[in-house]
Structure 1
Amino acid sequence: MKKIAGIILAGGMSRRFGEPKALASWQGHTFIEHIVQVMQTTVQDVVVVSHPDIRERIVTLVDVPVIEDIPSYKGEGPLAGIVSGMEQIKAQWYIVSPCDTPNLSNEWITALIGQISDEYEAIVPVIDGKKQPLLAAYHDRVKEKICALLHEEKRSMGQLLSQCNVKYVMEVELNVAKELFVNVNTKEEYVRLLNENKNKKV
C-alpha cells in the first residue's frame, strides 16, 4: 500500500468554545487522544500540529510527534498546519482531520482511503452539500501549492482546492454515517454531543 500519513490539526484558538477544544473530555479521554487513537488504527504515521499554548500538554497525552507550525507560516491557519505536518512526515498521501470531530472513526478513514487515486491531488467529502476540506485526503503534490499560496498571504482552503484536481466524494459513496463529520464549535454543541453519546449507551 502507498504510504499514508495522518495530520491532526490542533492549532486553532477555540475562541467560540472558550477553551482549547483539543483538551475537551470525551469518553474518558480528550478529543486529541481520541483522534490520535482512531488515526493510528488506520495509517502508518501520525503527527499533531498544535497551537504553541497547548503543545506541552498535548505531548503528555499522545505518543506521536506534536509540532507547531513551521516558523515562517506560524499562525497562518489550516494551510500552515497541513504543510507543517507534511514537512514532518514524508508520505504520498495525507489524511487530514481537525481535533474537534469526536465522532471520527476508522470506518470513515478507511472509506476515504478507498477513494484515493493518484490521478487526483485531493479527495474531499461532501456532506449535506457542504465540502469538508479539513476532513479530507491530500497528495504530497499539493505541498508546493500550499507554500505558494501562503507566500502570497492567501490562507483559504477554497483557494487551494481551486488549484487542485479534486475528487469530491458524496456521503453515499463513502457509505458512512454523516454524524462522523460533526465538529464541535461551541459549548452547546459539545453538551449536545455528550448527551447523544450517553443516550446511545443506554
Structure 2
Amino acid sequence: MKAIILAGGQSERFGEPKAFAQINGQSFYKRIIDVLEGTNMFNQIIISTNETLAAQFDHSDIIIDENKNRDKGPLAGIRSVIQQYENEELFFVISVDTPMITQKAISKLYQFMVEHLIEDQLDIAGFKEQGSPIPTIAFYSPHTLTCIDKALNSNDYSLKNVYSHVKSDWLDVDMVESPDYWYKNINYQQDLDSLQQDILNR
C-alpha cells in the first residue's frame, strides 16, 4: 500500500507553498511523512507535486504531474501516482495542508475501508464532516483511475466528479478521538495562527 501526499497546489491564498510552512518547528510535509511512517502501513510514501517545487523537497519519492494535466488540481496528482503503480491494491491520499493528521485517524479509516471493502466493493473510503466528504483524506482503489481520467478530460476536475461516480463511503470525523484540528485544512496564514493557538491551549 502506498501513500500519496498531495503537494502540487499553488498556495495562492496562503501566500507561499504550504508544504514548507512549519508547525512546531517542522514543515508540513515532513510532519505528515513522520505520521505515515509511524503507522507502518505503507511500503512507499510519494510526494505528488509540480516541477517548480519538486527540487525543494528533502524526499526521494517524488512524482511530478504530467504536462497534459498541469494545473488541474488534486485529481492530477492522484492520477500521476496511481497510473505508475496500477498493480498496487490501495492508495492513501492526504493533502499537505492537513498537517495534523494522526496515526489513529489513518488506522481508523483503514479499518473502516477493510470492513466495507469486500461486502460493498468500495473504491474510495474517506472522512466526512457534518455529512460533507473530505476526499483529500481518503483511501483510493486503482479502479478509480478510469473515472479520474474521465474527469480530467472533462471541464470538471473536482474530486466530487470522481467520488460521486464510484462506490464510496465516508467515516465521520467524530469517530476519531483526537483534538478536532487533526483534519483541518490550512488555507490562509490566519488558519495556521489559529491552529498554533489551539495546540498551545490543549
Under a length normalisation based on structure 2, what TM-score does the superposition of the two structures give?
Answer: 0.89
Secondary structure at the residue paired with 1:143?
A: helix
Secondary structure at the residue paired with 2:135?
A: coil
Residues 174 and 123 (structure 1), Cα distance of their counterparts in 2 relative to 1, 3 Å cut: farther
Give the structure 2 partner of residue 140 of structure 1.
142
> AA paired with 1:86?
I
Give the structure 2 partner of residue 99 of structure 1.
96
Give the structure 2 partner of residue 67 of structure 1.
63
Instruction: Report the RMSD for the aligned CA atoms in angstroms.
Output: 1.7
Give the structure 1 partner of residue 29 of structure 2.
32
Distance 1:172 1:21 in 2: 26
The within-5 A match list for 1:73-84 is 73-84=69-80
Secondary structure at the residue paired with 2:136?
A: coil
Is 1:85 matched up with 2:81?
A: yes
Distance 1:164 1:12 in 2: 25
Is 1:16 matched up with 2:18?
A: no
Distance 1:13 1:140 in 2: 26
Secondary structure at the residue paired with 1:92?
A: coil
Distance 2:38 2:197 in 1: 26
Secondary structure at the residue paired with 1:141?
A: helix
Give the structure 1 partner of residue 182 of structure 2.
180
Residues 70-121 of structure 1, C-alpha deviation per residue, up to 9 Å, x if partnerless? 2221221111111112134442111111001121111111111111114111
Give the structure 2 partner of residue 55 of structure 1.
54
Distance 2:76 2:64 in 1: 10
Give the structure 1 partner of residue 4 of structure 2.
7
Does the 8 A contact of 2:92 with 2:140 survive in 1?
Answer: yes
Identity value in percent: 25
Kindly state the Cα deviation for residue 34 of structure 1 after the two structures are TM-superposed.
0.7
Give the structure 1 partner of residue 44 of structure 2.
45
Unaligned 5+ residue runs, structure 1? Answer: none
Secondary structure at the residue paired with 2:33?
A: helix
Distance 2:49 2:176 in 1: 29
